[in-house]
Amino acid sequence: MFKSSRRCAILYVAVTVLALPVAAQETVEGRLLEVLKAKGIIDEAEYADLRKLETELRENKATENQLDARIDEMISSVQDEAPSTSYTVGKGFTWRTADERFRLSVGGRLQVRFTYDGWSKNARTDDEDEPDFDVPRARIWLRGNVFETYLKYKFQFDIAGDEADTTVTFPNGTMPGFSSGNRLTELKDAHFDFAKWKAFSIRGGQFKVPYSRHWLVSSGTLEFVDRSITNRAFSRGRDVGLMIYGKVGGENEDLFEYYAGAFDGEGENRSNNDRGLLYVGRVAFNPFGGVKYTESDTKNSEDFKLAIGLNAWLHEDDNHTSAGDDWSIGFDVAAFWQGFFGMFELHYRENDAGAAADVEILGWVAQLGYFIIPNEFEVALRYATIDWDNNGTGDSGSREYLLVLGYFWHEHNMKLQLDFGRVEDHQGDHADNTDEWRMRLQFQVIF
């Protein structure tokens, strides 16, 4: 009986509360307490305590709601401003801030090679065959921008390195010597670029000297296993210096390219050892739009692409000797179209030998390749030659006749190449002259 009366009372109170009008500034809880007090369910003191408690709870709830809203705003802001992460095949992993002012990309390249040299004529080696496994390149690079999108940087290291002479000897023979032919990690690139305008940019640090398209193409995007013999004779490799460069003209401002720089002239990771510098200039013309520095038409270009370049370098006062300037001039052209790739370079170099006659070097290289299976399987031919006079060894020269077969899974980013052919190196009537049949098999991954 008591329980039934209690339910009726509660029902009565609820119905009464819902039926009463609510004042503009009154709450539902406040009206309920008024009804409970009016019905005698709670006394005046209980009513006051409950109204105080209601006020405190509402204040705490408002604070809690404000705190929740502020936390949501902070989380949203952090999510918006947090660095994003992405990956692009061949470009590496990239971290960038929301405003793009800071960016870092990390990637690498690995080449594993097997070479078999079949000596057909060499007095010194007596027709010796030489098989060899090698890791010619194991590169790690970091690049991006700092503080501004146009302040760019690049670091590249070759952890395969070059052989280092670490021979240690002791005076008076007091202790045995030590010698090691280990290959040490090398710094390849380390430079900043101020590239706010496409028509005018500045680069400083260690990087590739801008001479010869064949050299400026990355060793990871070559059509053959490696560069031709002309590269060693005419390009200046990497060096430490300062360069201005840019692109102008055409709809995309890439009709013309120019590069002009001054370098130490001693090569990568070396200080200048004479009173002169190396000065280099290059201009290129792209009549049908910009052409990337790469080889092989891996994208099966629908539109014909052509790049024509002219470059030169001058090295003054070499090694504090009486010898004069060393200089070179070269021309190059490259074309891409529907799986075809062709390249031709011609170079002339002259070294002032002082009292002796100047050493003159003439060389050229030609390549032609075609994707028999578009984007996947390529066949290409190369012929390269170097001739020089007045070098103290009589008539001298080098030749290279090569055929390459290349299979591409992800363009240059994952490929297998096999090149085979004849390489000749003659230094007058010298015992080390060689006529070599060479086969090279190389697998590469860029990530």
pLDDT tens digits, 36-59: 778 777 778 777 877 777 777 777
Residues of the chain with CATH 2.40.160.10: 85-446
Name the nearest CA neighbour of 199 among 248, 259, 158.
248
Per-residue pLDDT, 120: 63
Q: What is the DSSP letter of 52?
A: H
d(CA 427, CA 383): 19
- Collapsing DSSP states into helix, strand and coil, what is residue 226? coil
CB proximity list for 107: less than 8 A, separation 6 or greater: 90, 91, 92, 93, 140, 141, 446, 447
Average confidence score pLDDT of the chain: 83
Per-residue pLDDT, 211: 97
Residues of the chain with pLDDT under 50: 1-25, 123, 165-180
d(CA 290, CA 1): 96
Per-residue pLDDT, 392: 53
Phi and psi at 52, nearest 5°, equal: -65, -45
- Collapsing DSSP states into helix, strand and coil, what is residue 347? strand
Phi and psi at 198, nearest 5°, equal: -65, -30
Residue showing tokens 């960038």 = 96
pTM of the model: 0.78
d(CA 398, CA 427): 9
CATH architecture of 85-446: Beta Barrel (2.40)
CB proximity list for 424: less than 8 A, separation 6 or greater: 397, 398, 399, 400, 434, 435, 436
Through-space distance between the first and last CA atoms of the chain, rounded to whole angstroms: 83
CB proximity list for 359: less than 8 A, separation 6 or greater: 350, 351, 353, 388, 389, 390, 391
Per-residue pLDDT, 25: 45
pLDDT tens digits, 294-337: 999 999 999 999 999 999 999 986 565 555 788 999 999 999 99
Other Cβ atoms closer than 10 A to 431: 9
Per-residue pLDDT, 229: 93
- Collapsing DSSP states into helix, strand and coil, what is residue 386? strand
- Collapsing DSSP states into helix, strand and coil, what is residue 7? helix
Q: What is the DSSP letter of 412?
A: B
d(CA 365, CA 233): 12
- Collapsing DSSP states into helix, strand and coil, what is residue 38? helix
d(CA 52, CA 366): 94
Structure tokens at 70: 């502020």
